Chain A
């Protein structure tokens, strides 16, 4: 690396990074701050410190029931997206199917299609062909949205594994099922696990699809927060939001343990 960089540039670079950091973190810090407020009103910096809004949240049926729905959906989505995504990634990775290049683009396409377009189509199809939306609708919809993440992270680790492992296992007498379970699956595992956590995070945080597919009694946590924000926000929204931020921090920590965050700099 070239060290000869003018001093004024280095100093302004530090300033620039700090300012960008403030831009990126400000809304999160503010939310955490508001949640600790004593006052009835949303204000930052908070007036006084208390945990009353957390107590409020934990005794609120609306928040708890929507959190329960979010959790149910997120867990179901994590399971289905991991299973389907891992199978697809292995099939695509082997590059023996015709049009495997097309396949991988197809499997990644929900990633780039704006969710709102998908949401409106899903709402129309479901109400036309099936009936009222349910947890099942959210489950399927979120699985479609999160599938690309699992496929992508799994493909990424597979592409780094020794391409001859499967053949080696074959020369050692492993049959099809043994190769899949004892050789390929263990190779996928770090990517698959990271993908699964991504899927959980995205499903739990997702607002657009859930907004279109909501009905009374089927409100996910982000939709509940969204509704509060549209009408009458009080610091309890901030408390819920802070809990969600905390969950995200935990997930990032876990993903870092499994896959290493430095990977983000090369994808």
Chain B
């Protein structure tokens, strides 16, 4: 047996699993999206792209994902910077702070937000006490609820992605900038931010795809009126049982995700290779 055969034997079970149980399902979904009663058709796509309701769903998905990504980046960068610069003990606690929500089931986390944002929840209560909201004010089933819930779900991804870059930066770069007359904030702007940019962009692309395709949080916090692409797909599958149309929507999501993942792979690949 040659080395090559041995390695092939090692890799083979995984390759077979992924080919049969990963590529085939995705292929099947792509095929189904263009399958009509008389063979090939683009009817499911044209139905989606000509119906103002579904275009609205698509637009909301993109719009909310952009907002969520921007908020995650705005919180994630300073948070990651602080994590990279505190002592090892505090850093461990901060890592724990990020990992714990990341590893908790999305269902559980979303439940927490339902309690917090609902009519008798803590957040509307506080807003009412501050006189910022009316009597029956509830955040549930609003876009704001989706954004808040999703930011909490996705912030860990952004933070870890930026932290990965920041911990590899030479700390002497910042010191050098200071000795050359940069103030602290100016150092952040002219040295740290540009160098961390690949991490921020990679994290943003990741967060964007995850939020555009996530389903549990929008469905529970947005309710049935505020649909996003993934919730719409789920509805087609479980309620109207229109699988080809669901497949077409999933294909649109798939293509969108692929378009974003290619630059993502470039960025992270260049970093690892």
A touches B in complex, CB < 8 A: yes
Closest to B123 in A: A26
**Stretch in B43-51, B52-60, B79-87, B126-134 with 4+ CB within 8 Å of A:** B79-87
The answer to the question of B135 belonging to the interface, with a C-beta cut-off of 8 Å to chain A, is no
A45–B198 CA distance with the chains assembled, in angstroms? 42
The answer to the question of A232 belonging to the interface, with a C-beta cut-off of 8 Å to chain B, is no
B22 / chain A contacts, CB cutoff of 8 Å: 109-110, 118, 144
A122–B82 CA distance with the chains assembled, in angstroms? 42
A257–B145 CA distance with the chains assembled, in angstroms? 37
Closest to B113 in A: A27
Given known pairs A120-B246, A264-B160, the reply for A105 and B265 (CB within 8 Å) is: yes
Given known pairs A91-B7, A114-B213, the reply for A222 and B100 (CB within 8 Å) is: no
B142 / chain A contacts, CB cutoff of 8 Å: none
Q: Does the CB pair B111–A237 fall under 8 Å?
A: yes
A109–B262 CA distance with the chains assembled, in angstroms? 12
Interface size class of A (residues with CB under 8 A): 35 or more
Interface size class of B (residues with CB under 8 A): 35 or more
- Which of the residues B88, B111, B156 comes within 8 Å of A229, measured between beta carbons? B111
Majority secondary structure, B binding face: helix
A11 / chain B contacts, CB cutoff of 8 Å: none
Counted as pairs of residues, one from A and one from B, with CB atoms less than 8 Å apart, the total is 288
Majority secondary structure, A binding face: helix
A144–B243 CA distance with the chains assembled, in angstroms? 23
Could you tell me which residues of chain A, from 74 to 100, have a CB within 8 Å of some CB in chain B? 83-85, 87-88, 90-92, 94, 96-97
Which of B98, B106, B115 has the most chain A CB within a 10 Å cutoff?
Answer: B115
B174 / chain A contacts, CB cutoff of 8 Å: 1-2
- Which of the residues B109, B184, B220 comes within 8 Å of A5, measured between beta carbons? B184
- Which of the residues A24, A29, A266 comes within 8 Å of B152, measured between beta carbons? A24
Q: Does the CB pair A1–B95 fall under 8 Å?
A: no
Q: Does the CB pair B14–A238 fall under 8 Å?
A: no
A147–B19 CA distance with the chains assembled, in angstroms? 13
A34 / chain B contacts, CB cutoff of 8 Å: 115
B112 / chain A contacts, CB cutoff of 8 Å: 26-31, 241
- The minimal Cβ–Cβ distance linking B120 to chain A, given in whole angstroms, is 6
A84 / chain B contacts, CB cutoff of 8 Å: 13-14, 17
Binding site for B on A (CB under 8 A): 1-2, 4-6, 9, 13, 16-17, 20-21, 23-31, 34, 42-44, 83-85, 87-88, 90-92, 94, 96-97, 101, 103, 105-107, 109-110, 112-118, 120-125, 128, 140-141, 143-144, 147, 151, 176, 201, 204-208, 211-212, 222, 225-226, 229-230, 233, 237-238, 241, 244-245, 248-249, 251-252, 261-262, 264-267
